[in-house]
Amino acid sequence: MGIVVSQPTADPAPPAANPTANITCASLCSALSFTESDYPVHPVSCASYAAGANITITGGQAAAGCGTSFSPQLDLCRVVLTVETSDASETYMEVWLPENGQWNGRTMNTDNGGVNGCVHYVDMDYVSSRGFAAIGDNAGHNGSSFDGSWFADDNEIIIDWVWRARHAAVVAGKEVVNQFYDQAPEYSYYIGCSAGGAQGMKSAQMFPNDFDGIIAGSAAADFNHLQAWSGRFVQLTGTSNADPRFLSQNDWITVQAAIFDQCDERLDGVNDGILEDPTLCQFDSSVLSCTNNATLAGCLTDTQVTTVNKVFTELYNTEGELLYPSLLYGAQVDAFRLGQLSGSVQAISRDWYRYAVNADPSWDPLDMSQADYARADALDAYHGNVSQFSGDLSGFRAAGGKLLMYHGTADPLVSSSNSQRYYLKVASTLGIDNIALDSFYRYFRISGMAHCGVGGISGAGAWMFGQNAAAAAASHNIIDYLQEWVEEATPPETIIGTKFWYDTQSLGVQLERAHCRFPYRTTFIPGQDPSTVEGWRCDFIEDWRECGPGALPRLCNVDGSFN
């Protein structure tokens, strides 16, 4: 049935009374004690900064390229600490404490992207500007997003990155907050995307009391299989034009035009370059072949058409079990631009399988095989359960936590079908339906959005909804949605996203769209203006749990079973 979308309010939940500091920032470090932490915590520095002042990033964080300097938007006390997480590893962390009555009584932890070891300074500034005491950590190492050479250093550092650094920072950070303001936070939140989305999922799975609410976007979860899937593309496409299988960027633009011709307006009723639900697309690639369509400008050889077909396939193991779902139609040009389909070896995949899985610096990613996939699975527990894909959220549910997940359906780096698969996995593991899931876990598919809405390739859809500092100008904010759900028991029915012309706020709004929660499909209302929220409704997907042959997307094993 069709359900007309509601429009959640853009106003944040009412803040707590703004408490002032219990002691001065300058005296805080010498007064701190840590009784709740499982690990030794060492204060390094405590310093006050006025709004607009310069915070200079130094040491390992600066050397790793995590940033040079930042100017906070509020007066704050910046606390730097280290945590001894094992005999072989330690975590660097920071807590940014709004001063002068500007704290909203809440904490928010930030994430790490890719495999980096950076405090997410941009988002620390973003969430602290909203009054949160911001907590961030370096995941147990200093490093950049696509350099996984540190996987070779020590497995304790991998465990820090997977979960231990985050949990240690949560506990220590809350103790800093408690002692600075002489009161515990009323609510604790988390925000992250990509690897940060997976980190949020891991917190819900492993430490259900760490956060009252979690925003987990474009989650790079099921990490072993994601890296196998990502590493497989170069084996399918070849490395250069010298390979007859290879497609250039212009070739992929030709492919994209054919996909949009078959699956844009024909399926969703609007010719806007956005596939509202690409899982409905059953693309006929034969139209691309010069053999069948010699008059098509830029037509492809039959060998290239085979490459196109293979790129959009799932990854299975030798037993026919699904390891990772397919890239979705509509993401292919950005996948080329970001290296997935351009013949490049994917750095994270290479380093993970080279150093963490095979412990062999000479391992060649072009030789990746089923044996490597199996070895990674066998080492999952050793690596701290890096898969981050347990469907058991019973503890988080019992604790009253709220998990708000989103994923762009045009994501070229992490298939959004995997987030839909996780939704099905939680339902299957807990034996509950979507109505029961709605009480603590809501997943939103963001049409036309690329990976997290960052990196200069954000997508054609209404991708801005306050999920990071780059999207803060949107008219609605996902942080407000989460606060209203946690604090007022008002869950979001939709997430309203904004798209500015050329992603530039000063040029005005191009479109807004209310993205429906799964298992509802955002559906155009004929005769309405598709650039407005009112032009769309949410229709229930009756067969949302269907997993047999012919189901789209393919989220099951070859025999139709689900695990």
In the 8-state DSSP scheme, what is residue 503? G
Average pLDDT estimate for 470-483: 96
| 58 backbone dihedrals φ, ψ, rounded to 5° | -130, 180
Task: Specify whether the CB–CB gap between 514 and 7 falls below 8 A.
Answer: yes
Task: Specify whether the CB–CB gap between 543 and 420 falls below 8 A.
Answer: no
Average pLDDT estimate for 372-381: 98
Q: Which residues pair with 93 in a beta bridge?
A: 81, 137
* pLDDT band with cut points at 50, 70 and 90 for residue 457: confident
Q: What pLDDT does residue 561 have?
A: 87
Summarize pLDDT for 10-46 with one digit per residue, the tens. 444 444 446 777 799 999 999 999 999 999 999 999 9
Q: What pLDDT does residue 13 have?
A: 44
- Structure token pair of residue 305: 């058409």
Per-residue pLDDT for 488 more than 90? yes
Q: Which residues contact 525 (CB under 8 A, 6 or more apart)?
A: 534, 535, 536, 537
* pLDDT band with cut points at 50, 70 and 90 for residue 8: very low
Residue 52 and residue 73: Cα distance in Å, rounded? 6
Classify the phi-psi angles of 114: left when phi > 0, otherwise alpha if psi is within -120 to 50, otherwise beta. left
Residue 44 and residue 30: Cα distance in Å, rounded? 10
Active site residues: 194, 411, 451
In the 8-state DSSP scheme, what is residue 464? B
Residue 356 and residue 154: Cα distance in Å, rounded? 9
Summarize pLDDT for 542-562 with one digit per residue, the tens. 999 988 666 778 898 988 888
- Structure token pair of residue 177: 């907050």
Pairing of strands 402-408, 441-446: parallel
Average pLDDT estimate for 412-436: 97
* Rg (alpha carbons) of the chain, rounded to whole number: 23
**What element of type H or E holds 4?**
strand 2-4
Task: Specify whether the CB–CB gap between 323 and 329 falls below 8 A.
Answer: no
The larger pLDDT score, comparing residue 326 to residue 547, is at: 326
Q: What is the mean pLDDT of the chain?
A: 94
Per-residue pLDDT for 4 more than 60? no
User: CA nearest 228: which of 95, 386, 103?
Assistant: 386
Number of Cβ within 10 Å of residue 60's Cβ equals 15
- The predicted model scores a pTM of 0.94
| 438 backbone dihedrals φ, ψ, rounded to 5° | -55, -25
Query: Do you know the residue count of the chain?
Result: 563
Share of the chain above pLDDT 70, in %: 96
Average pLDDT estimate for 496-512: 96
Distance from chain centroid for Cα 135: 18
